[in-house]
Amino acid sequence: MANKKFELLDVSSGKKTDLPVRAGTIGPDVIDIASLNKDHGVFTFDPGFMATASTESKITYIDGDAGVLMYRGYPIEQLAAHSSFIEVAYLLLNGELPDSKQLSEFSVNIQRHTMVNESLLRMYNGFHYDAHPMAMVSAIVASMSAFYHDSMDINNPRHREIFAHRIIAKLPTISAAAYKRALGQPFIYPRNDLDYCSNLLHMFYAVPCEPYHVDPLAAQALDLLLILHADHEQNASTSTVRLAGSTGANPYAAISAGVSALWGPAHGGANEAVLEMLEEIGTVDNIPKFLAQVKDKTSNVRLMGFGHRVYKNFDPRAKIIREMCHKVLAKMGRADNPLLELAQRLEEIALKDEYFIARKLYPNVDFYSGIIYSALGIPRSMFTVMFAIARTAGWVSHWQEMISDPGYKIGRPRQLYTGPAPREYVPISKR
């Protein structure tokens, strides 16, 4: 494989260039095109970067055709069955699963750094009461650089570690405060005696006037969702974190940029869009009419929660999350949830329809995750925030990987210019 090359021929000039091939551990080889502009004066054109490897990474591997997702070589199915989000966060950050001592130390570091500066909490009062939680989370994360600037030397490994622990620990607190702001309820401080997900639920639902007891199944379901959403290779938000971070910007700015990118309905907002779609359908009887609109290219109606830009067959995360969905609804007395019934029937019909079969439109992770969040009492406006809490572990891991690489460069995509050719300025009196 080391000797494998592609040859590029300029037919007009007869000039040839050898393009070396780089091979990863698994997955498709990549053609190194770095010399194209130097040798031929051309760039490649790849809208959406669907055929371009923008970086080299050791963190996550996806095989969309086979429905494979691995974190650091571990299949997502095994991690979902046996691990915890905190252990997965450690794995993503450090490359290996921790031993008991390492996991204990990491867990304590996260548990004991959950509080945020009181001045940051007072900033929430400056937001409108009905501001979208993602707007608040993005702003607060960016503002953290004004409070923790004593440890923001990106070239210092210890500072990078402190940042990683700090942002993973504090994002649930920041997110819960955004939720409480929308409700007009007092902020609830984190508790050091609770695990990561139990603490998050506590900060969401506890009130000063009565004790709150975390449902173990709710915490388990939330932990599973965080594992499944922890990383997903070079997606839009992760690429945004890398691109922003490549400038040398402080890490809080880079993560804030990732939060903003995740906000888009085509990305982190997809599970919110699924629930909106189900509510628009209304009843099982309306499914045929809705699917007919989906097939009509002039209707602009989309089937949300089905298909994926990466997975060309079944999303491996969807199989795992579907089981948990049933457990949560059964335990919480919501097994008769009309949205679940509607979702199941929609899935059944769509999977038997030749139109969707031919296009390999299978349920993805967003299809059921929104229903679970709803069953846990999490409002729709907070769905993307929950995604951000999970994905922060992946974002930080990618940022760390990039910054610690001595050969990293500032991101600078090229373009195909199609604007006006050179022209002369015309004085306003002659226009």
d(CA 338, CA 330): 13
Burial class for 242, CB neighbours closer than 10 Å (0-12, 13-18, 19+): buried
User: Is 65 an active-site residue?
Assistant: no
What is the rounded end-to-end Cα distance, in angstroms, of the chain? Answer: 62
Q: Return the residue matching tokens 């572990």.
A: 393
- The torsion defined by the Cα of 8, 13, 14 and 20, in degrees rounded to 10, comes to -20
User: Which residue, 252, 254, 263, 302, is CA-closest to 280?
Assistant: 302
User: CB-side exposure of 320: number of CA atoms within 13 Å?
Assistant: 25
DSSP 247-297: TT--HHHHHHHHHHHHTSTTTTTHHHHHHHHHHHH-SGGGHHHHHHHHH-T
Supply the angle between the helices 383-403 and 216-229 in degrees, to the nearest 10: 50
CA distances for 332 relative to 269, 325, 365, 382, angstroms: 25, 11, 21, 20
Name the active-site residue from 223, 231, 315, 366.
366
Sheet of 30-31, strand order: 5-9, 16-22, 30-31
Tokens for 205, please give them. 């639902």
Q: What is the CA radius of gyration of the chain?
A: 24
Backbone dihedral angles phi then psi of residue 268, each to the nearest 5 degrees = -75, -20
Name the active-site residue from 308, 315, 336, 398.
308
User: Is 99 an active-site residue?
Assistant: no
d(CA 321, CA 327): 10
d(CA 303, CA 291): 8
Tokens for 136, please give them. 């608040």
Is-contact 318 363, C-beta < 8 A? yes
User: CB-side exposure of 51: number of CA atoms within 13 Å?
Assistant: 6
Give the active site residues.
308, 366
